[in-house]
Structure 1
């Protein structure tokens, strides 16, 4: 950990929203600040999708140095590449006032900015930081940034393979996420009046985006509901994709499911997790999902799409992985957990112990230190 002790570190985020990547970033930053005496500065460059939950998380963790800059990757008209390089150069000059030792980006676009400005800022270390369902520009500035990247980091084996295939690079590393769960045992007021007392509560915590498949879960849930009225579904997430969010609401309304499904947004995961009996995540793509780690931290059994990052968390022999296209498999696994309370408790406890044994922030920093020293 000595590589981080007393250092000045800039975290570069895409926007001040609170998804899995941002939650990892903020908890990492807080640990460095509070335990290793680091000076932390958090930058973002896109104002849209700002979330009050992000600022609440920063306040809770004691992170005060937040800066919102103009997007250096935005350019119009002719000479776009030159305009972008000038903006990135000017950002690098601005960052010099912090005398940074390290710049840590989260997601692909911030990685482009970091690797093109870190030497200008005076920082000695940065890297490309891939985070699962990520965005590729495919333009010239991305190609230049890839060539200048010291090394590539991914939070899943799937992501590492994707980087190596996409960019034809060899120096890629897999670094699993750490647990950000601070378990709170409470009966949350948000769900007290939703008519779910005594019911088995399924929950999917995921923002409404293209790659998250809430509709599939609702379709399966509606079939389970025909056989068992003693269940309720909670969907938690912000409407980052308005079209997707409206599709979900419309489906619930048309199928007369509004009394059996609760949608919550601008809601902290820890306000809902204590009320759940089963955690669900159905998606097209994941890195190492923070949501799954949160489910594990609250001792929940989890029904989840079999992505590499989920396998890294739950183990290759985990019984409740599902195929997005196999509805029968989804129905059977959810129904088993709904009907068997002992099975829920057994699987939930196994998940909790796996998280505690393998995914602490101390282990994360030790693994990252080994990579930085290699």
Structure 2
């Protein structure tokens, strides 16, 4: 395959450059991806064509993401990312949490292939590069900064953001607080890529807010975590097993919510969790503090884990949920429409 030959040639050049001490290792690695531009362009064109045939709609992207952890094919992910760009799925990075987390998970599980996989995702418009930069930082690789440095020259418009992650206060996924829909989404994306328990455990930790009586934002985040855990665990034994194991490791507040998640997943009664969340949110808005954000602002956050679970379930014909399956809608938009106070009953 063409990209294998490129890697071999690049390695030879890298050895020669290091031997004469002309540039740093990071620069040498970057140079390895500039070789044979004609063949690289041909390979990129072939990748684009295959992606266009395989991923016609965003539904196709979501199906691939849902199935990936059962049949991991990282070589197809660069084409998937190109399709995300073409379909506009990454046009607003703040609404691309699921996709960011998914790309991060694939990069993290393929450390040796990561430079090659990332190189094949280019060219990429500057706005969408934000997603890729965060995905590299969120990958969990011990050398993620060195990996990001290799692609600085490919993303000149994003030097400020890259500098924030390399030298500033840019946080990795594990360092981010869970009180943000984007972070919940990113953890779901990571789980869909890896099937690992770590992102699931962090989502479970947000259940502590599902009965918060003082902060409507945290109550909504906790309700989102609860609904998405139940809806995904209903069709994912690995996730259901994780929930049961965590019953022995979480505090009583989380265990109460987790018990309801497990029961709803096993009985396929996801709708009642939504109804319970609606009652709690309405009650807090009616008699609680007034320091919550304007609900309309919530529509500016994360790609939907809610919609993702709903879309996949409808595709598989397994679960009927209580909200419409809207591809590409925001997680918080779903909350506004179906957990928000202005909804029509």
Whether the TM-score (by the shorter chain) exceeds 0.5 is no
Larger % of strand: which? 1
Between 1 and 2, higher relative CO (CA 8 Å, sep ≥ 6) is seen in 2
Larger % of helix: which? 2
What's the TM-score once normalised by structure 1's chain length? 0.30
What's the TM-score once normalised by structure 2's chain length? 0.32
